[in-house]
Amino acid sequence: MISSTQHQVVGKPLDRIDGPKKVTGTATYAYEHAVDEVTYAFPVQSTFVKGLIMSIDARAAQAIPGVIAVLTHENAPRLKIQEGELAVLQSNTVAYRGQFVALVVAETLEVARQGADAVVVRYEEQPHSVVLRAESSDLYKPDHVNPYYETDTASGDVEAALAQAPISIDHTYTTPAEHNNPLEPHATIAKWSSDGVTLYDSNQGSHMIRDKVAQAFGLEPERVRVISPYVGGGFGSKGTTRPHVILSVMAAQVVGRPVKFALARQHMFAVAGYRTPTIQRIRLGADNDGRLRAIAHDVVEQTSTLQEFAEQTAVVTRMMYAAPNRSTTHRLARLDVPTPFWMRAPGECPGMFALESAMDELAIACGLDPIELRIRNEPDLDPETGHPFSSRGLVACLREGAQRFGWQSRNPQPGIHADGRWLIGTGVAASTYPTRRRPSTAIARVDREGRYSVLIDASDIGTGALTVLTQIAADALDVQLERVHLEIGDTLLPRGFLAGGSMGTASWGTAIVEAAHKLRARLQEEHGVIPAGGLEVTGEGGENPEAKRFATYAFGAQFAEARVNRDTGEVRVPRLLGVFAAGRIMNPKTARSQFLGGMTMGLSMALHEESILDPRFGDYVNHDFAEYHIATNADVGTIDVTWIDEDDPHLNPMGAKGIGEIGIVGTAAAIANAVYHATGIRIRDLPITLDKLLS
Amino acid sequence: MNPFRYERASDASSAVAMLAQVPTGAFLGGGTNLVDLLKLGVTQPDLLVDVARLPYNRIELLPDGGVRIGAMVRNSELAADRTIRTRYPMLSQALLSGASGQLRNLATTGGNLLQRTRCVYFQDVSKPCNKRVPGSGCPAREGYHRNLAILGASEACIATHPSDMAVALVALDAVVRVLGPNGERTIPLTSFHRLPGDDPQRDTVLEHGELITAVDLPPIPFATRSHYRKVRDRASYAFALVSVAVAIEITDGIVSDVRIAFGGVAHVPWRARKAEAVLRGAPATEEVFRRAADDELADAQPLRENAFKVPLARNVLVRTLLDLIQEVN
């Protein structure tokens, strides 16, 4: 565990180091980099769902003054990637509506857009299938679910236990397609030179972009540089290389000038990934005292015909509660849709909406308080692996939350508490997210003046990572924060894992601590005298060896107050409380923002977010911010965030658990449970819109 | 998006003359709706005549006790105006329930009335839409129409008018003052917007080249007791699913006068004359309010996804009336 003798800053609520730059607009985001001779790209998207492009007529577009090139599958350079979402403009087949079928490059963005409107594409259309249905006959079982979990698990005899259980529930919960919509849409500038290609790109891991671009264009990775110091949010959608990155590099190659390509908001609903819709059947069987005898969680969700993405929706159910008989399954429909992908807490987020709604229903069926039900089903060991939990703070969070929220005085009877025309209810749900880490490398340097720098290709996508890693580095080096300079977001720096899976701090921090400790050892060898040329060391942070012996997770409890208008069905959530047990908190200020942001996104999921598919056209028709609703400030009441200190020695040198995702896990269930308590109406289909409550 | 010519008008008559010569041109006010539609390719004018700086930016009292609102008065200014807030509170409330602070700072009174009706298919040029391409069909009827019209729609179009301000103005019997190539005319706001019928491409009765110069409010003393209640899918920054503007006068327990209009239910801000007729001269009771709402909504023709708007509109109207009489008492 890192500790600093004199200036400890880990655990202090420091302001973001890059805060002043961000709020004054001087932090340079991908699209803002000044590049000479730059050109602008605008895409043409397919206007049908499935079939073949018969012809593309670009003459009108090319005739527009200022249009430099129109790239299509007929003239685009051949890529080394010929399958999946990244094989852009490589064939005349179309796999979903909105797929890129051409790209116009022009002297200005406006002319590029005008050119894109002028490209005429003729298609031979084939019948399509875009609607997810649980009863569909061609569902299939994927080999594994994201990223490498078993698809199905079973232990004991679930069917027999359910049949014999004195109390059982069997309900189906659905969540809609939801789209990642970071404030900064995906954007890339690609610039070729004799050294290769340089990208200014908005992403969650520059090395990952570099590797894909190198692969697609058959380049040595060293000939691709990706620069991404500032990123305006990602939520998973910037966690892999998206098609526009490949197109940008391709276009810059063709026109021999740098190309800028930013997705418009409408594009985000076709080519940036999204959360799959889910259909989840949950069956719970319990004794009269609420002790679970059986848990079954069966999930149906979608993937595309281009490549497989299987969300791990039921995986969380494998470790959450003790029950001797358990089964989980995932089945996929391969549809003519864009490939779903990561969106904040893929798996845990939709899965826990279903499980934690079902636990609420079971508590009611058992006549038990929902907190007590969860406490009674708290496992001693991870039910799936049999390993002990390195730390498991769920019960502590529930108890602390109950106190803080005023849960004790709650009358469980639904629909009896009101304030004027507003019915009032409260609900609770559990949160969890795995704690993991992945290999990363960091360099630590000190120069003759005693200035330290730490180099690692980490990503700060708005989380505060730059600040937190600087705190970790300062403590590990045992020097004042002001003497440490951190460089991130560039593939010239040592490889860091991506900002995903709530693994950033653990992965990067471990490498930084290793490097810092090595540098201190080197300094000691030099008897504390820095040589003229300074010192430099490299630290490697690997996988967590303890993960083989322990189940490592963060936990939390979320409480919601919901108000439902009797006349209109409008739902308001004046109060949310989240209590988390997430290891040692590195920076209470940035950590609070992570939890708060997650819970706000969970509120948005509960009440608003829904991508609406028109089966005839095959695309999401509400593809802008007027129609795809995200919670506004006015929807967010008081959000109280707190945590329980944990000292878990089995994780990483910092004792940190990832906190980027746990905040969104459980919020929607807590709100749905509160809405039930307010009204007596159980909403099992998100979002909870007023029409579902209007009687 | 197409290239277009941009001209800034120095005075109203030259603005009108300039636009009259270009059949595909348009006036540009705050641009909060037009610029979106330009980017999407929904509208492709060859000429934009910027009228936002014309000197129609005042709110004046009229000799008859009414108020004249200059067409270029920004929504935020109008909402904050003391006369409006005290004499026509529902107008101020309607304005403040619309859009965002930034948009209201830009949006003009005239431009607000001229917002195009909303529908996801209208906004997507890759799909059919009778309003955008006459005769191409209406995908909304069988498609996504949860937020579309339940009253006055046609086979050709079920889009809804998005304005909140216009709902309050329609209830207040506002009159639109227009300058056109053939001089000035006035149009009652209740007949300014059009139902879609067979030619939904036109949202208003305005002729090409006609410029809104002002909106006149008649004196309605009892409008000091008025409410605008808007119901939407989130607490702020969303178009109305249903909204209602209500002003009521009660004398000895009897409704002596009333003004009601609905938003979010039709191609136009919907003046609820049937409900008004039931209420006028009737006792101000919940039972009468329900009857009034039911009479107005008897003609509703909801579709698969928007049937909830019928009970929603009824409940919102009844509750708003009840809230108002509680205030009166």
Residue A13 located in a structural domain: no
Judge: A621–B143 Cβ closer than 8 Å, yes or no: yes
Q: What is the pLDDT of residue A636?
A: 97
Residue B328 has pLDDT above 90, yes or no: no
Q: What is the Cα–Cα distance from B248 to A133, expressed in whole angstroms?
A: 50
Same-domain check for residues A503 and A392: no
Residue A138 located in a structural domain: no
Residue A10 has pLDDT above 70, yes or no: yes
Q: Using the 3D structure, point to which of A543, A569, A598 is the last residue of a domain.
A: A543
Residue A615 has pLDDT above 70, yes or no: yes
Q: Kindly state the percentage of chain A with pLDDT values over 90.
A: 99
Judge: A631–B142 Cβ closer than 8 Å, yes or no: no
User: Domain of A78?
Assistant: 34-127+183-233+238-271
Residue A447 has pLDDT above 80, yes or no: yes
For residue A5, what pLDDT band results from cuts at 50, 70 and 90?
low
pLDDT, one tens digit per residue, over B116-168 is: 999 999 999 999 999 999 999 999 999 999 999 999 999 999 999 999 999 99
Q: What is the pLDDT of residue B295?
A: 98
pLDDT, one tens digit per residue, over B64-82 is: 999 999 999 999 999 999 9
Judge: A690–B241 Cβ closer than 8 Å, yes or no: yes
Give the side-chain half-sphere CA count within 13 A for B185: 13
Residue A3 has pLDDT above 70, yes or no: no
Mean pLDDT of A588-605: 98
What three-state secondary structure class fits A206?
helix
pLDDT, one tens digit per residue, over B231-273 is: 999 999 999 999 999 999 999 999 999 999 999 999 999 999 9
Residue A661 known to be catalytic: yes
Q: Is the ipTM of this complex over 0.95?
A: yes
Same-domain check for residues A532 and A681: no
Judge: B316–A568 Cβ closer than 8 Å, yes or no: yes
Residue A10 located in a structural domain: no
Q: What is the pLDDT of residue A253?
A: 98
Inter-residue contact A197 to A213 (CB < 8 Å): yes
Both structure tokens of A185: 């849409």
Same-domain check for residues A370 and A512: no
Q: What is the pLDDT of residue A525?
A: 96
Q: Using the 3D structure, point to which of A522, A543, A564 is the last residue of a domain.
A: A543
For residue A4, what pLDDT band results from cuts at 50, 70 and 90?
low
Same-domain check for residues A460 and A366: no
Residue A137 located in a structural domain: no
Q: What is the Cα–Cα distance from A359 to B279, expressed in whole angstroms?
A: 50
Residue A134 located in a structural domain: no
Same-domain check for residues A477 and A624: no
Q: Using the 3D structure, point to which of A514, A543, A572 is the last residue of a domain.
A: A543
Same-domain check for residues A341 and A361: yes
- Helix, strand, coil tally for chain B in percent (to 5): 30, 20, 50
- Domains in chain A, number: 3
Residue A4 located in a structural domain: no
Residue A9 located in a structural domain: no
Mean pLDDT of A43-55: 97
Judge: A568–B312 Cβ closer than 8 Å, yes or no: yes
The helix (run of H) or strand (run of E) holding residue A168 is strand A167-175
Q: What is the CATH number of the domain that holds A391?
A: 3.30.365.10
pLDDT, one tens digit per residue, over A649-675 is: 999 999 999 999 999 999 999 999 999
Q: Kindly state the percentage of chain B with pLDDT values over 90.
A: 98
Same-domain check for residues A510 and A638: no
pLDDT, one tens digit per residue, over A176-198 is: 999 999 999 999 999 999 999 99
Which of A568, A621, A635 minimises the CB distance to B315?
Answer: A568
Inter-residue contact A332 to A151 (CB < 8 Å): no
pLDDT, one tens digit per residue, over A97-138 is: 999 999 999 999 999 999 999 999 999 999 999 999 999 999
For chain A, how many residues are written? 695
Same-domain check for residues A577 and A671: yes
Distance between first and last Cα of chain B: 56
The dihedrals phi and psi of A8, each to the nearest 5 degrees, come to: -40, 125
Which residues of A are less than 8 Å from B126 in CB distance?
Answer: 45, 47
Residue A146 located in a structural domain: no
Q: What is the pLDDT of residue A242?
A: 98
The dihedrals phi and psi of A168, each to the nearest 5 degrees, come to: -145, 155
Judge: A632–B241 Cβ closer than 8 Å, yes or no: no
Which residues of B are less than 8 Å from A568 in CB distance?
Answer: 231, 312, 315-316, 319
pLDDT, one tens digit per residue, over A266-289 is: 999 999 999 999 999 999 999 999
Q: Kindly state the percentage of chain B with pLDDT values over 70.
A: 99
Average pLDDT, chain A: 97
Touching A: B residues 136-175, CB under 8 Å: 139, 142-144, 146
Residue B279 has pLDDT above 90, yes or no: yes
Q: What is the pLDDT of residue B1?
A: 73
Same-domain check for residues A243 and A290: no
Mean pLDDT of A229-240: 97
Pairs of residues, one from chain A and one from chain B, whose beta carbons lie less than 8 Å apart: 82
Structural domains in chain B? 5-50 (3.30.43.10), 227-328 (3.30.390.50)
Mean pLDDT of A540-554: 97
User: Nearest CA to CA, how far is B183 from chain A (Å)?
Assistant: 37
pLDDT, one tens digit per residue, over A355-394 is: 999 999 999 999 999 999 999 999 999 999 999 999 999 9
Inter-residue contact A214 to A80 (CB < 8 Å): no
Touching B: A residues 566-605, CB under 8 Å: 567-570, 572
Same-domain check for residues A214 and A71: yes
Residues ≥6 apart with Cβ < 8 Å to B184? B177, B178, B213
Q: What is the pLDDT of residue A1?
A: 63
Gyration radius (Cα) of chain B, Å? 19
Same-domain check for residues A577 and A443: no
Which residues of A are less than 8 Å from B121 in CB distance?
Answer: 621
Same-domain check for residues A522 and A639: no
